[in-house]
Amino acid sequence: MKRYVVGFHFARHGNLVTLIRKDHPEWQAGKLNGVGGEIVDGETSECAMRREFREETGADIDSWKLFATLTDKDKSRFLVDFYWSTIEASVESKTNEEVSRYATQDVIIGDEKTIANLPWMLLMALNDMNGVDNCARFEITEMEWYR
């Protein structure tokens, strides 16, 4: 099973979020997504989140909060852990994929071309960050029709 991490780095009040304009894989090309990537063998999910964010933005954030896990229906093809952080840091593109800060509200209402689940994942992260939800972590299963 492939394992991945995705992180949303918010400004302190959640009004800005760091996102990356993907150029791969093909189905994400040209769209905004959280910063992340694949978890390598022997690496914890949180260590992968820290490494991926540092590699893609130059910012070494050592405090990430896990709020959701997304898997396929059979839990056999992929697992994606979603994190958020509000640690202050400057970010810049360190790869060929553009990293920038965006107005969170604009992304949520769809002013930008995004990965399909990005608006509601951002809302879940913000709710967790602000203590709105009473669960420790969400578990989300992708249905067959979504693929």
Q: Find the CATH number of the domain harbouring 82.
A: 3.90.79.10
What pLDDT, in 10s, does the model give residues 87-100? 999 999 999 999 99
Q: How far apart are CA 136 and CA 147, in angstroms?
A: 27
Instruction: From 146, 39, 40, select the one nearest 83 (Cα to Cα).
Output: 39
Q: What are phi and psi of 35, to 5 degrees?
A: -80, 135
Cα–chain center distance at 146: 19
Total number of domains constituting the chain: 1
Per DSSP, the three-state class of 29 is coil
Phi-psi region of 110 (alpha: psi -120 to 50; beta: other; left: phi over 0): left
What pLDDT, in 10s, does the model give residues 104-142? 999 999 767 998 889 999 999 999 998 886 666 777 777
Q: Residue 40's domain spans which residues?
A: 2-146
pTM of the model: 0.90
